[in-house]
Structure 1
Amino acid sequence: MIQGSLAAAHESDDYESAARASTSFCRSALAREGLLDELADWLDAGFRFTREHAIWSHSCDLEVHQAQLDLHRGNWALAAQRMKNLHDSTDAPGMFAV
């Protein structure tokens, strides 16, 4: 269903919806650990798309999903560094407040 939404968004040049569908798919894939390799591919595609179209909020979401994937793969230091870099690079650090 999400893949269909992504395809429809791309066909209509609805970049915001396409970015949202990408992040939704990543969230869904993280919920099912069996999709970790597929998630890595989706993250790569999502990063390219969100950066190409300057959709920074979704790019930040994808960075968080990448850090979660790093954690699932046992790369704790990499995940922590990724989150620190993301926090340090944003003009709105409040988005990371709990």
Structure 2
Amino acid sequence: MLKNAKVVDSDSVEEGTVGSGSTGILTIWNLKRRYNTNRGPTESDAFENKISYESPLGKEILGKKIGTIINIASSSRYHQYEILEIK
């Protein structure tokens, strides 16, 4: 894992976009949910709303801006999210 690790400088992430370690508020089915986004696979925890950059949602929101709408397909339906806030 360390062999493939990359250091990400938070100054290199454009302000207002989702980056590694961002906290964002997304809506799904008109419910607001706060997510600690784009954690590594060993840091992700669904019960604490920490999503991995390897998950379908994590992959889709990386680099996106506020107001972006994202559609994720699951085995039974599509889930639509909107990015409302990024910290």
Q: How would you bin the TM-score normalised by the shorter chain?
A: under 0.3
Structure index of larger Rg: 1
Instruction: Using structure 2 for the length normalisation, give the TM-score.
Output: 0.24
Instruction: Using structure 1 for the length normalisation, give the TM-score.
Output: 0.22
Greater share of residues in strand:
2
Instruction: Choose between structure 1 and 2 for higher RCO, CA contacts under 8 A separated by at least 6 residues.
Output: 2
